[in-house]
Structure 1
Amino acid sequence: MADLSRRLLLMSAPAGVLAAPALAQAPLTRPIRLIIPWAPGGTTDILGRIVAEPLSQALGQPVLVENRTGASGNIGSDVVAKAAPDGQTLLFGSMSTHAMNHALMRSMPFDGVADFTPLAMLGFAINTMVIHPSVPAQTVPEFIAYARANPEKIAYASSGPGSTNHLCAALLENMTGIRMVHVSYRGGQPAVTDTVGGQTQLFFSAATQTMPHVEGGRLRLLAVTEGARWSRQPNTPTVGESVPGYEMGVWYGAFGPKGMDPALQQRLNVELNRIMAIPAIKERLGGMGVDWAPESTEAFSRRLHADAEKWGALIRRLGIEAS
């Protein structure tokens, strides 16, 4: 009787309503592993733990967050790359693992593009361009003019060769012709500390790391590196407004193994976008410097391919290798 009632309901439903039930047919029959390839407490881990409970309710199965760290995100990502494409093993990954590691590392256990099914864009970690107040520049054009007039007098900090901090500055050099000095640190904290202290003068990093120093007057915010302005700082320009074509969007995304059923892929995209739009979740992520960026699976796939090509080409051209 239940099956008959369901068939009658579907027969009587308007045509436009049938799409949602159709997406729900892919079976998920046991607890879902949500792999986070980074340590507990980081942005990706927090994202996973925020999303796990509402995703569990939507899918009708427990979603178990599992941190599998190491090798710059490769160990956890490889677990998903080699899993069955049945939706029972998912990944919350980042741009670096899927669009950069293939060029930074001499050997990779997977292809960051070909070995995954892109499910949903989860958001951008707002990435800032900050300088020490001793640098006589209030804007990106003024900074470029100063750096051009003083070649190799500006030192920029990074958390290591091939890090997003490093690549942001290398891209700026590449696109403007300025010459600076790269100072590599073991992690972001000593890099920001030395920029605050004036040992280095330029740092590109997440807003969560830099904004407390900006608000305290110890660093000067010039721009953000995304393609659009930061919703919480709408008067702060993007680097690309002064350097056309410049963009470094440090994104987080949800993936499954390659070969997932398209209906299940679309279902997960719909559910993840719905969850990320929940006001309390948007507000919490915004407080962490993460802007939600809803995309279809097709748009996310295009972004993945484009970023892998863009950053791979730059990394190879500059001869950068991960430390």
Structure 2
Amino acid sequence: MMARLNGKPAMSAAVVFAVGSFLSQPASAQDWPTRPIRMIVPAAAGGSTDIGARQVAKVMAAELGQPVVVDNKGGAGGRLGAQEAARATPDGYTLIYGNSITHALLPATSKSVNYDPLKSFAAAGNVFWYSTLLVCNPKLPFADVAGYVGYAKANPGKLNIATAGLGSGNHFSSELLSQMAGIKVTHVPYKGNAPAVQDVMGGAADCIQLSEAKSYLDGGRLKALGTTGKARDPRFPNVRTVEEQGLKGFDATWWQGVFAPAGTPSTVMAKLAAAVRKAAEDPSTKAVVFDSGFVPEYVPPAQVEKRIQADMAKFRKLATDTGIELE
């Protein structure tokens, strides 16, 4: 009920507070956006991450009524782009297309990261999840995860796995598999996935975990043993997950999402969250990212923060257990 004061209706304290909170938002925040928005993508142009980011930017722009301009800032595993975004003015006009590496793995394991994924950023939501495939040279004498594990146990240290480099996502995922399976596999770090997969196909290395493996599998140049996520890769519905093949609890699912610098006004964050959700749920998005192995799924900010906390704990423990040291 609304109270009356001197014969006139008086607003309740709750209403006064709500109105005051709204009016306290800067006019620029209430009107946001009134100009183009910059979205830093911590990866090189042309790759799968860039393709996903540009689709998200396209849908967000249509939803917000202003261009969302992709700015590729690769380097140092993504930390350079993340560090730049963390320092940006929190007005909603600089965003970052973050991921499991920039917002969980690196902050948990690298000494040179100078931002906190939970304190330096505000999540607008995740848009995609994806897994990798454990793929090997077709000449190797096994065809599934059980065979991989059995071969490694029978030949300690003989089997090797190529990765995109020390501390890369597929390095951590490979170490997690070895740890949970109780095997010893030799790590061979490369400067990126491209030279690593070439050596696996040529026989100089044995196996690798990849997300973009379809062309190699279709051509018979690699064989898939399993997928690393909690669910099967939609591109390869007949390839079982590692967990389905007996390694209970194994999960190396990766994600991508949109973040703003901490302190961005709540009105802006609400609009951003709605636009990010639209990008994940837009029918065109699934078709654009299908070949990259990305699965559209909107995850709201509170759940994103919980996922970051859980992933950081997992990566930190894995680094300690396996002796992975990153600068």
> Which residue, 58, 63, 73 being the options, matches 1:58?
63
Q: In the alignment, does 2:241 pair up with 1:216?
A: no
Q: How many residues align?
A: 299
> Secondary structure, in 3 states, of the residue corresponding to 1:84?
coil
In structure 1, list runs of 5 or more residues that go unmatched: 1-21
> Which residue, 71, 77, 84 being the options, matches 2:82?
77
Structure-1 separation of matches of 2:97 and 2:160: 34
| Alpha-carbon contact 2:60-2:278 (below 8 Å) kept | no
What RMSD over aligned residues (CA atoms) do the two structures have, in Å? 2.0
| Alpha-carbon contact 1:132-1:219 (below 8 Å) kept | yes
Q: In the alignment, does 2:258 pair up with 1:254?
A: yes
> Which residue, 237, 241, 260 being the options, matches 1:238?
241
| TM-score when normalising by structure 2 | 0.85
**Partner residue in 1 for 2:92:** 87
Identity %: 36
Structure 1, residues 13-55: CA drift from partner, whole Å, max 9, x if none? xxxxxxxxx9x95632332111112221122222222222331
| TM-score when normalising by structure 1 | 0.86
**Partner residue in 1 for 2:195:** 190
Question: What are the within-5 Å matches in structure 2 for residues 1-323 of structure 1?
Answer: 27-206=32-211, 208=212, 210-241=213-244, 242-322=246-326
| Alpha-carbon contact 1:37-1:68 (below 8 Å) kept | yes
> Secondary structure, in 3 states, of the residue corresponding to 1:191?
helix
**Partner residue in 2 for 1:12:** none
| Alpha-carbon contact 2:281-2:297 (below 8 Å) kept | no
Structure 1, residues 155-206: CA drift from partner, whole Å, max 9, x if none? 1111111111211211111111101111111111111111111222121111
| Alpha-carbon contact 1:44-1:93 (below 8 Å) kept | no
Structure 1, residues 229-269: CA drift from partner, whole Å, max 9, x if none? 12232221111222111111122111111233444333322
The amino acid that maps onto 2:221 is R
Residues 264 and 225 of structure 1, relative CA distance in 2, 3 Å threshold:
same
Structure-2 separation of matches of 1:316 and 1:82: 30
> Secondary structure, in 3 states, of the residue corresponding to 2:277?
helix
> Secondary structure, in 3 states, of the residue corresponding to 1:93?
strand
Structure-2 separation of matches of 1:191 and 1:70: 18
The amino acid that maps onto 1:183 is V
Shift of 1:84: 2.7
In structure 2, list runs of 5 or more residues that go unmatched: 1-21, 23-28
| Alpha-carbon contact 1:48-1:65 (below 8 Å) kept | yes
